[in-house]
Structure 1
Amino acid sequence: MSRLIGASLCLLLLFTSRCDSADECKEDQNNKGCVCTFENKNVDLRSLGHKDGTFAYSVVGTDKATYYYNPCKGFTEKDCVNVAGCQEDGGAYRSIGAPNKTTFYTDDTGLVSIMYGGGNGERTMLVYLKCKKSQHKAEFTFYGEIVKNQYTFNLTSVCACPGECTENGPSGGGGGSGSHHSKASKIGIPGLVAISLFFIAVTAYCVIGMIVMRVKYDRTGSDVIPNKGLWFALPSLVKDGVMFMFTPCRAACNRGGGGYSKM
């Protein structure tokens, strides 16, 4: 019974934590690789790129190669034809991403990134969009080749902040500094409902239970707390619940020999 209670509490925490990452920036298919939307606020890169077929940004990496990038529109540089990103290494020019092979990702903190596929020799390009409201001139920096043939960069700009830019550049909107979106929007409606119902139920249980213990059983002091022993043992119950939930999974994973790495 104690393990079941602990496991139930853990499930509630897991449910609400999953809701934290439910708010994703969804790509606008009419502006592929340029615009994604958090609810009703856009991350809009259209003003950051060139529209004349040339690249907007270049950087020399720690690997001594030079990288060229242009958001939204393809550019041509030597052997890199109609690309989003290009690598120049020892006089050789190779595509590291096509403008029409894009996927937007959003992590649990709201950080948006764009993955570009379609490069030469299965090369890909990952660009993290760093929100900085004071950065009106975008900064493009090399992060590294974290995974073989996947070249990672940071693009820091006010236009990486939701609601701050349009096709013509910074709009001046979006409110003050801080988190990209409110705590309520990150948790989401299902998470708020679950948390609210949980605390309402606990409060009602405690209030009604204390009245019953005082009036019906004439208890005083800490003895008016219903199921006092259960609440005092709660930390150990949560620990038992965690072990109950995850130990079988860990054993199964070990038997299967599977695993994954996270960057």
Structure 2
Amino acid sequence: MTPLYPLGFLLCLSLINFARAQDVCVKKGPCTCEFSNGTGIDISPAAKATFYTTQTFELKMSGAEYALSTYYYHPCFDIKPSVNSSKPGGCDSPLSLCRHTDHFNFNSTINGFVSDGGLYEKMGDTNTSAFSSDGKSIIYSNIPSSTIVMLVCAQTEGDLSVFSLLDPNKIVLAFYSRYACLQTIEESGRSLGSTLLIIFFSCVIFYLVLGICTKKFLMGATGLEVVPNLAFWTDLPNLVKDGWAFGINGFKLPTRGAGPVTSPDPNSYDSI
């Protein structure tokens, strides 16, 4: 009879592999996604002030015409491209992806090619972007089409190229960057200063509540007398003023003046 524990072991192993296969890189921002184990993709350091660009060249009409397409890509946040055209095609506003296609036709009169002025096409922005489940690409939806930007781990700050143009409604670009490599995603938290302020004000509140309750219920104080160490807090402005005067004087005691000896000694610390 076959023992059951090997079957149980295989079943557990299958469940673990299934769970791993179902692990999805959850979007944390326009250019960041994270898996359940804390690793993920974050290409935000690759963002710069200008677009990444790449071009494709296509000959038509047996060489009598050609099309030059320039792709503009900016990861993480939308910026406005410099568009000088009567056909902006939506590229005259902040975006992440844009294509400019310029058609050149041969003109026998000048024996050269003449441009038709070019056409701009918006291809996506951060509001319509989503990570693939494996975190290896970002999909920019621009109904009815979409553009896929593959994130390729490479030892470069950032480089853009065209990967596939087979489907005009699903163009695939490749973005090469060392920031596209799998890494540990660090959650942004409170700064040290914020933490210290929270601790300080928490201690102040605890001090006031405990002091007021003690003086009111144990000592029978009323009115302002319930404030703990009231005499100290009342005199605090004068103490601060004397401290400033002491510091401005070079941390020296004032010189003893002429006249009878007083108490306390004017050259003592108590005289401040």
- Report the TM-score when normalising by structure 1: 0.48
The structure showing larger relative contact order (alpha-carbon pairs under 8 Å, at least 6 residues apart) is: 1
Query: Max radius of gyration: which structure?
Result: 2
- The structure richer in helix per residue is 1
